[in-house]
Structure formats: structure tokens, C-alpha cells
Structure 1
Amino acid sequence: MAAHRKPRNSPLGGQAARTAATLALASAATATLFEGSGQAEPRLTPAQVKAKVDRLYQEAEAATEKYNGAKEKVDEARGALDRLRDEAARRTARLNTARDALGSTAAAQYRSGGLDPAVQLALTSDPDEYLARAALAEKAGERQATAITSVRRELTGIAQLRAGSTERLTQLRGHEAELRRQKTAVQGKLDEARTLLARLTAEERARYEAAATGSGRGGDGSGGFADAAGARADRAGEARGPVAAPNGRAAQAISFARNQLGKPYVWGATGPSGYDCSGLTQAAWRSAGVSLPRTTYTQINAGQRVSRSELAPGDLVFFYSGISHVGLYIGGGQMIHAPRPGAPIRVAPIDEMPFAGATRVV
């Protein structure tokens, strides 16, 4: 009679086996995923880092100008709201004065008993005196009617001021929300640029910073950033010396800008310790007694448009399709501008960025 062997139980039988197989497949997929993601971000060359960082700085500057515009609207709305509130306070004071006067008149009438004028005339021992008093009372009544009209007018005015204040407050909150959005956008772009720059070696970073500060120029694709020919062109442009400004105001604006050379670019700043690009041009022309708008996209419309061939010292020169950068032309193909974070205010050729237009301040 054949012996029946009892089958051995597998240590991973049934559901346990299926679970183990699932875990193994998941592990293999995860490993493949990690390997793929590790290969998805190859190390960027220094030239690629520079290109990305330059783009981020340009985007940050565009966001900075939107921030500046939003801040200008916040300041305007807050100023208008404060003026409305001040006027409401003045009108409230006048209203209280008129109400006090009405209260005094009403109290006096109550104390007199409010007798009918005919009865008062019949009871008086001196009709002539009564008639004189009646004339005064009539004038007092006219004054009282005027006071009532004044009260009504002040009430109406205060109601209108309150409605205006509510509208201005709503506008203010909207502008403040936009201000926060643009601030976040600027800071995000700058943080991303700093992260990319941190990937460079110390030598690569030094070359990039040298280019940013004006002692070198853009990359050649081989890992270096200095361009000797470009640097020589910059020095030659500066060697030509300043070109005479067409008038005293332009000369003063240029003189002011020259005195800011070496100061840092600070986004959203209008001086005196640092500036962004439009903050510098605004401050320069303010020193000459001319009030410019705050942002690049409003400054370009603040004067007479001129072509590149017509440029004269003191003109505002604008760059990029979005009009996101501005400099102060000083002649000889050169400008003074606040380039970007990490790059101080300096003299630079106007052909180092895409030219978008120019405006002559008049």
C-alpha cells in the first residue's frame, strides 16, 4: 500500500505569497523611479546656470515693477482714505456744534412755556416791548431754521464720506493683496536664482559675480563668463568721457545718478542707500525738480518718445518687451542703471540688453 506524503506548507502561501509579490513589484518600480528622477536633473553647465539665473532676475525685475505699481496704488488709496476720514471728523465736529445750538434754542423755548404769540401780546403790559421782542424771536427762528438745514447738510455729507471711505477701504485691501502677491513672486524668483548659483563652484561663482559687477560680461558657453572684448568695449565707452547734457535739468539728473554709482540694487527701493532701476531714474530726475511716475511702464509715457538714433544725455532708456528695465542715458552709447540684485549701480552699454524704447523728459 503506497504511503501518502503530507505536502509541506510553503512559508509564503496563499495571501501571504500574493502580498510579498506585490511588495517586490512596488519596490522594483520605486527603485526604477528614483533612478529615473536622479537622471532627470543632469548637472547644468555654468553657461546654462547663467542663462537660467539671468532669466530669473529678469522675471524678478518685471515682478518688482508690478510690486512698485501696486505699492503706489496702496499709498494713493491709503492717502485718499485718510483724507476722507479727516473730512468726516471735521464734519462731525460741525454737526455736533450745530446740534448743541439747536438744543440750547429748544431748551429756551421750553423754559418760556411756548405761549401762543396772541396770548403773550394780550397779557403784556407793554405792547411795544413785546413787538420788539417778537421781531427778535422771528430772527432767532430764522437762525434756528438755518441751523437745522446745516445739520441736515452735515448728516448727508457724513453719509457720503462714509460710503466713499468704505469704497476706498475695499480698493486698499485689493491693492494690498496684489502687493503681497508680487512680493511673493519677486522673492520666489530670487530664491530660485540663489539656489541655482549655489550649484556653481567657487571659481565659477566668482566669474559670474565679476560679470554682474561690470568687470566681466556674459558667458561664452565654455564655462567661463568673462568676455575680454566686451570688457574692453565697456572701458572704451567710459574713456570717451561724459557727453554734455542738453540742459541744466538733464545735467543735474545725470550728476545725481553718478553720485549713486556703487550703491546696491535693492528691489522696491527709492534710495538713498539703494535703488531698483525705476527708483534710481525717479530719484535722479526728482533731484532736478521733475516728478516721474514710479514704474518703468509708466515712466516710458512720462515724456516725449525718441528713437535710439536721437538719444541725448538725460533720456530714459527702456529694455525688454515688457518694459521691465530702465536706465539713464549719459551719452556715448552708455547709461547709468541699477542692474539687478547683487549688481551695484554702474555705467553700462545700452546694447547689453534688448532695447525697447526711449523717452525724453520734458
Structure 2
Amino acid sequence: MRLRALVRGGLVALCGAAVVLSGPAAVPASADPTLDDAKKKLAAIEQQQSEIGEQWAEVKLQLAQSKTKVDTLNADIANQQRKVDGMRGQAQQAAISRFQTRGVDITVQLITSPDPDAFLSDMSTMGKVDQNLNSLLQDYQAQQANLADLQRAARDQVTTVAAEERRLASLKNQIEQKIQEGQALVDQLTEQERQRLNAEEEASRDTSRDALADIPVGDDSGSADSRALRAVKYAVSKVRTGQYVWGAEGPNNFDCSGLMLAAYRSVGISLPHSSRAQSGLGRPVSRSELKPGDLLFFYNPIHHVGMYMGNGLFVHARNPRNDLEITKLSSYPAYQGARRVVG
């Protein structure tokens, strides 16, 4: 049986959708109530893994955005600090000048002036200078306040980053616990039951084995965008050797959204590493309008994504037990819709 280690390098992924364990009509359904019950429990566990994995992907995106905000705020703080430092000397000189002139009464200045008429004519000019000094000091104080606001925002954002990192660690632990639950459930089966389980899962892929040789060319693929077709070829090329690893995006390990990201990255198109985030890209297409390269989304809320190939087939990173595979769209549960990101 094709079972992977519980944790591959500490990051086994669970973003894939819940596995549909009952095979097509070609493989008789098991009459063993123990195996049937185990399949239902295993499907539930794997769906929980998938949902937690999607939460992890979303928090990871939020963490990246928060770190970018911290970097931006730090750059703004540095610029603002230079501005404040540059104004500090002018503000200090203005304060000294004001102190000096306020120390002598204007009447005394008039009496002691060698040219009283010139002194009086300069009074209006001195008033304007005083206004400029006031404006300079006020501007300096405003810039200091702006600097303090930026520093406070940066501290708040650092706190947010720390909270998101703790959330990621918690989700990782939850996923690993679900992996252990699923493994323990499979280990409880007899060898015969495990063989039946494996045969049923394998049967859902047998009908599409020929698709590994090339992308099917059907009525729904003739007008597909060339970049979308190349993205499909990339994804299909990873099926035989690629493994499902939580949070991975290539070149050999992938989770569900990571495979989509890597496939489109190979043709110069950027996607977020989250099936839910990817479900908001491009434009929606109906099931009857599907073309190769369209992204297919499953479950509500969405926590699995695959790529349509044509001829009713799609390629996806399914889950740690099944890795990457090509599946009939008609046989996969909880289809929610499709988006076309190019073309």
C-alpha cells in the first residue's frame, strides 16, 4: 500500500480534499462493515485535515502580508526620522532666537536703538520672521508626531506577526494530529482490508492512466490559451513522481494549491498559495464551458483545487495518501465551480 511517512521533513500537507474512498462500478463495493465504517471515518478525517490545511495556507498569506507591512513601516520610519533630524537644528535655532528676543522689552529696544525710525520700520518684518519661526516649530512638532504614529503602528504590526506565527504553529500541530489519527485507523485494518481499500482508490485512477502520456485533446480544448495548455502539461508531468507535501509548491513536492501555483508560475503567471484565494481569481466559467487550464474548486467552504485537462479529466495533488493524480471530474465530490485565470 502506498502510504507516506506521517510527516515528510516536518511539513506533510493536508490541504487536499477529502478522499472519496468508494471506487467506480468496475470494483465491487466492500460488503465488510468494518471496512465501510473505516472508509467513512477516514474520509471525515482527511476532510478535516484539508480544512485545517486551508486555514494554514490563509494564515501564511496573512503572515507574509503582515511582514511586508512591517518592512514598509520600518522604511517609512527611517525616512521620517531623517526628516525630523534635519529639522531639529532649525527648530533649535528658532527656539533660541525667540528666547533671545523675548528677553528684552520692545520699549527698551526702541529707546536704546541708535536709529529708532529704522527700528520701527523693521517691526513688521520682525513680525513676519516671528510667524515663520512659529510655523517652523509647529511643522517640527507635527513631523515628530507623525514619527511617533509610525513607530506605534510598527509595534502593533510586529505584535500581529507574532500572533500569526503562533497560529501557524497551532494549525501545524492540529494537522499532524489528524495525520496520526488517519494512520492509526488504517493500521487497525487487516491486510486484506487494506488491499481492498487500495484497490478501490486505484480504480478511480485506472481510467485516466493514458492521460499521463499527453493532455487529452477534446472538443473543450481546441480554443484554450497556449499558456493554459503549457500549465496543464507542467502539472501532468509531475503526476508520476510528485508527492503531496503540505505547504510545498515544487519542484517535486506539492499541495493542492501549490501545484496550481507552480504550473502557472512556469508560464509567468502568479497565483496565491491558497485554494480559497485562487477561487477569487480570473472569471467564473460554467461546467459546460470548461477548457484546459481552468481551475476547479471543491467543498464548501472551498479547500481543494485542481486543474481541468479536457475530456472530463482534471489533475490535482489529492492528499498525502494518494499524492498527485488524474481524476474524472464526474467522480469527484462537492464540485463548487471553476475560474479561468488566463484566456
In the superposition, the TM-score normalised over structure 1's length comes to: 0.69
What is the match of residue 91 of structure 2?
102
Residue pair 1:237, 1:333 contacting (<8 A) in 2 also: no
Residue pair 1:121, 1:127 contacting (<8 A) in 2 also: yes
What is the match of residue 63 of structure 2?
74
**TM-fit CA distance, 1:180:** 3.5
**TM-fit CA distance, 1:279:** 1.7
Change beyond 3 A, Cα 1:236–1:271? closer
Q: Are 1:357 and 2:343 matched, yes or no?
A: no
What is the match of residue 321 of structure 1?
300
Helix, strand or coil for the counterpart of 1:338? strand
Q: Deviations over 1:26-47 (max 9, x none)?
A: xxxxxxxxxxxxxxxxx98445
Give 1:195's aligned amino acid: A
Helix, strand or coil for the counterpart of 2:318? coil
Q: Are 1:343 and 2:322 matched, yes or no?
A: yes
| Structure 2 alignment gaps of length 5 or more | 1-31
What is the match of residue 208 of structure 2?
234
CA distance in structure 2 between the partners assigned to 1:146 and 1:264 by the alignment: 66
| 1:148-297 equivalence runs, <5 A | 148-169=137-158, 171-201=160-190, 205=194, 208=197, 211=198, 216-218=199-201, 226-227=202-203, 230-235=204-209, 241-243=215-217, 244=221, 246-261=224-239, 262-297=241-276
In the superposition, the TM-score normalised over structure 2's length comes to: 0.72
Q: Please point out which of 84, 87, 99 is paired with 2:73.
A: 84
Give 2:171's aligned amino acid: Q
Greater shift, 314-323 or 164-173, is seen at 164-173
Residue pair 2:283, 2:340 contacting (<8 A) in 1 also: yes
- In proportion to residue count, which structure has more helix? 1
**TM-fit CA distance, 1:308:** 1.9
Greater shift, 184-193 or 106-115, is seen at 106-115
CA distance in structure 1 between the partners assigned to 2:226 and 2:117 by the alignment: 80
Q: Deviations over 1:131-173 (max 9, x none)?
A: 9999998887566444313212212212332443354345445
Helix, strand or coil for the counterpart of 2:243? coil
CA distance in structure 2 between the partners assigned to 1:156 and 1:317 by the alignment: 50
Q: Deviations over 1:228-256 (max 9, x none)?
A: xx554223555784334611221232233
Helix, strand or coil for the counterpart of 1:335? strand
Q: Are 1:334 and 2:313 matched, yes or no?
A: yes
CA distance in structure 1 between the partners assigned to 2:205 and 2:268 by the alignment: 35
What is the match of residue 304 of structure 1?
283
**TM-fit CA distance, 1:122:** 7.1
| 1:6-25 equivalence runs, <5 A | none
Helix, strand or coil for the counterpart of 1:289? coil
Greater shift, 312-321 or 144-153, is seen at 144-153
Greater shift, 250-259 or 129-138, is seen at 129-138
Q: Deviations over 1:177-212 (max 9, x none)?
A: 44344323212111101112222455655665xx4x
What is the match of residue 3 of structure 2?
none
Q: Please point out which of 37, 44, 57 is paired with 1:55.
A: 44
What RMSD, in angstroms, separates the aligned Cα atoms of the two structures?
3.7
Change beyond 3 A, Cα 1:240–1:171? closer
CA distance in structure 1 between the partners assigned to 2:125 and 2:328 by the alignment: 84
| Structure 1 alignment gaps of length 5 or more | 1-42, 219-225
CA distance in structure 1 between the partners assigned to 2:159 and 2:336 by the alignment: 36
CA distance in structure 2 between the partners assigned to 1:270 and 1:132 by the alignment: 77
**TM-fit CA distance, 1:322:** 3.0
Residue pair 2:295, 2:305 contacting (<8 A) in 1 also: yes
Greater shift, 327-336 or 82-91, is seen at 82-91
Q: Deviations over 1:30-80 (max 9, x none)?
A: xxxxxxxxxxxxx98445434432332222011101111112112222322
Residue pair 1:240, 1:332 contacting (<8 A) in 2 also: no
| 1:31-50 equivalence runs, <5 A | 45-50=34-39
CA distance in structure 2 between the partners assigned to 1:240 and 1:271 by the alignment: 20
